[in-house]
Amino acid sequence: MLQLEREPKMVIFDCDGVVVDSEPLTLQLIRDDLAARGLPLELPKVTDLFVGGTIAGAGAQAQAMGAAIPSDWADQIYDKVFAALARSVEPIPGIGAVLDRLDHQGIPYAIGSNGPHRKMEITLARCGLAARFAGRTYSREDVAAPKPAPDVYLLAASQAGVAPQDCVVVEDSATGAQAAVAAGMAVLGFARETPRVKFEGLTDLVFDDMAQLPTLLGLFPE
């Protein structure tokens, strides 16, 4: 199996679809809502259009495509999404073991997300991961521009005192991968739900099983 050339000094994870398995629930809600507003889309199209972006951006794009989007649409969707995630979201299989390995080897980690803090609070708590990321969750709410701008990843690295070139980002979207590249960080594409073609020309490596990540990072059992 291929791996990075050197062990990272920090790993920064996207949240949705990388740490917590929240993307399917969120995308299904968006699909159903847009269908009711005059924009019927198949789920793969919803995924292609909106994964990695912001809810506000999804609303603007849907409106441009003909959906009847009210001014408070983002708030309405977030209310539905938060309720659904609080009931049923689960962690990405294998993420706990990855965090255990990073802890064991003393490598700091954080989350950098285009989602709001409230969403991360809900999903990480539901998945039993809130304590592990306490004080290390960064949102597009904390920076001037969301991904694909590099701001949230640069903030996470700065707060940890780690140079961008010493960080590795784990992303499941092209938008997030573009942000990592712009930040000057290595990026691994997580293709569990994302077609590998989305990562072409952006990522250093692509993988589809979180159990593979420690080896890709060059972290081996002692």
Q: How far is residue 20's CA from residue 90's CA, in Å, rounded to a whole number?
A: 6
Q: How far is residue 157's CA from residue 133's CA, in Å, rounded to a whole number?
A: 14
Contacts of 177 (CB under 8 A, 6+ apart): 169, 171, 187, 189, 199, 202, 203
* Side-chain half-sphere exposure of 135, counting CA atoms within 13 A: 3
Q: How far is residue 71's CA from residue 92's CA, in Å, rounded to a whole number?
A: 33
In the annotation, is 14 catalytic? Answer: yes
- Asked if 85 contacts 126 with a C-beta cutoff of 8 angstroms, the reply is yes
- Whose tokens are 């692509």? That residue is 206
The pair of three-digit structure tokens given for residue 184, joined into one six-digit string = 């000057």
- Whose tokens are 């009711």? That residue is 36
**H-state helical runs in the chain:** 23-36, 43-50, 55-64, 73-88, 95-104, 117-126, 151-160, 174-182, 213-216
Tabulate helix, strand, coil % of the chain (nearest 5): 50, 15, 40
**Hey, which residues are catalytic here?**
14
